[in-house]
Amino acid sequence: MTTQDSYREINLIRDSAGKFTATNVRGGTLSFGSGDDDQFTPVELLLTAIAGCSAIDTDIITARRAEPDTFTVAAGGDKIRDDQGNHMGPIEVVFTVRFPEGEAGDKARKVLPDAVRQSHERLCTVSRTVLLPTDVSMRLAD
């Protein structure tokens, strides 16, 4: 069910050949391109979205207990071209999270595996959308 609170939208503008800027409804912008320079590509943005979504979920759950000393997330996989067209193969997301010694750090370490699991299994909208069958339609504007 779509509601005003659940609907998400961005708009893209072509800046030049192979370069675009996305704008969200809050006015934030993100430039990206086709990979001819150091800007992120759409596939790298997909990996960023998957890792970022799960990082936010995990951070919300663990940081209630202790502020991490280290919190990094890497996401990667092979881009495949086969009879199904272009797509990503299995994507792996790897968390490296360290908490300080002490009771608070122990509490955060204890919930960390469950936080990552919860993000993967139900919380992260991005990875859940990739995992579940999700219709994507494209059309020309009237």
Residue 142 identity: D
* 94 and 70 within one domain: yes
Q: If you average pLDDT over residues 80-96, what whole number do you get?
A: 97
* 68 and 57 within one domain: yes
* 98 and 28 within one domain: no
Q: If you average pLDDT over residues 118-141, what whole number do you get?
A: 96
* 140 lies in some domain: no
**pLDDT in the model for residue 5:** 87
How far is the C-alpha of 106 from the C-alpha of 55, rounded, in Å? 19
Residue 99 has pLDDT above 70, yes or no: yes
CB 111 within 8 A of CB 62: yes
* 65 and 23 within one domain: no
Structural domain span for residue 75: 41-131
Residue 3 has pLDDT above 90, yes or no: no
Residue 4 has pLDDT above 80, yes or no: no
Average pLDDT score over the chain? 96
What is the number of other CB atoms lying within 10 angstroms of the CB of residue 61?
18
Q: What are phi and psi of 97, to 5 degrees?
A: -130, 130
**pLDDT in the model for residue 138:** 96
CB 76 within 8 A of CB 50: no
Q: Give pLDDT tens digits for 38-76.
A: 999 999 999 999 999 999 999 999 999 999 999 999 999
* 51 lies in some domain: yes
**pLDDT in the model for residue 72:** 98
**Which pTM value belongs to this model?**
0.92
- Six token digits for residue 40: 């992120």
Report the CATH number at residue 84.
3.30.300.20
The model's confidence at residue 124, banded by pLDDT at 50, 70 and 90, is very high
**pLDDT in the model for residue 24:** 97
What is the number of other CB atoms lying within 10 angstroms of the CB of residue 52?
15
**pLDDT in the model for residue 2:** 59
CA 115 to chain CA centroid, Å, is 16
